[in-house]
């Protein structure tokens, strides 16, 4: 049971490049989400999904796309990287969207630098 | 989701209890109080949560006031490994409100 796995751990991109951050969970969780964390700040929600085929925007969605074709995977796509997207990205999952009595599990993060 | 207020930083001597306060004066009846911590830029880690009763697990205790407007996370015997940023979050059940909204948390420094 690996939990939430994010790849890559580190990435450097040039401005304008695109890439996909991968997130996979093996716990059959319905709810998955992506956050970004800038230095000295808390986590901000980018996009989330309440199940396969369903996604929605969070607090800071601009410049990012997501899809959820399977329960296990929730990739985050940067369409045209900008220096303002330099951040640490965390993926999280939890069992049930409508269950309050559940904890979220986080991946170890992807550290992205856009130059 | 209700907003929370936490002190930006606290110190605690190793072996002593660490008491981390959180104010959530606008909490609604269907909102739970959750605590997470983040150690040195790792992914956040769940600690404990509660609705109105006090809760205890192997990591910590959560004390919620009777009016539910504030709570305290207690680490009974803090160690150096408890040095982290601690986030207090309130979250409702279901719908678009069922998201974890992180503030800036309390940076707890445990010292020898």
Q: pLDDT, tens digit, for every residue of A7-65?
A: 999 999 999 999 999 999 999 999 999 999 998 888 999 999 989 999 999 999 999 99
- Tokens linked to B47: 């600690």
**Record: contact A33-B99, CB cut-off 8 A:** yes
What per-residue confidence (pLDDT) applies to B71?
Answer: 97
User: Distance (Å) from the C-alpha of residue B3 to the closest C-alpha of chain A?
Assistant: 13
Q: From chain A, pick out residues whose CB is under 8 angstroms from the CB of B49.
A: 101, 103
Q: What count of other Cβ atoms lies within 10 Å of the Cβ of residue B13? A: 11
Q: Is A51 helix (H, G, I), strand (E, B) or coil?
A: strand
Averaged in consecutive runs of 10 residues, what is the pLDDT profile of chain B (112 residues)?
88 97 92 93 92 93 96 97 96 68 92 94
Q: DSSP string covering A60-84, please?
A: S-TTEEE--SSSSB--EEESS--GG
Whole-number Cα distances in Å, A25 to A22, A33, A81, B6, B66: 10, 11, 25, 31, 38
> Is the pLDDT reported for residue A97 higher than 80?
no
């Amino acid at each position: 049971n690996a939990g939430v796995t994010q790849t890559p751990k580190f990435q450097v991109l040039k401005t304008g490049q695109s890439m996909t951050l991968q997130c996979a969970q093996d716990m059959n969780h319905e709810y998955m989400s992506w956050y970004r964390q800038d230095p000295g700040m808390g986590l901000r929600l980018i996009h989330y999904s309440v199940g396969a085929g369903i996604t929605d925007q969070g607090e800071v969605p601009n410049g990012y796309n997501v899809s959820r074709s399977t329960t296990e995977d929730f990739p985050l796509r940067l369409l045209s990287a900008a220096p303002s997207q330099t951040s640490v990205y965390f993926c999280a999952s939890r069992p049930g969207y409508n269950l309050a009595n559940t904890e979220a599990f986080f991946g170890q993060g992807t550290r992205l630098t856009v130059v | 989701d209700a907003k929370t207020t936490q002190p930006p930083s606290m110190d605690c001597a190793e072996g002593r209890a660490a008491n981390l306060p959180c104010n959530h004066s606008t909490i609604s009846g269907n909102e739970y109080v959750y605590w997470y911590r983040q150690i040195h830029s790792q992914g956040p880690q769940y600690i404990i949560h509660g609705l109105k009763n006090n809760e205890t697990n192997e990591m910590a205790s959560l004390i919620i006031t009777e009016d539910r407007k504030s709570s305290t996370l207690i680490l009974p015997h803090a160690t150096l490994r408890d040095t982290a940023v601690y986030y207090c979050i309130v979250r409702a059940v279901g719908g678009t409100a069922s998201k974890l909204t992180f503030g800036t948390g309390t940076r707890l420094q445990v010292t020898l």
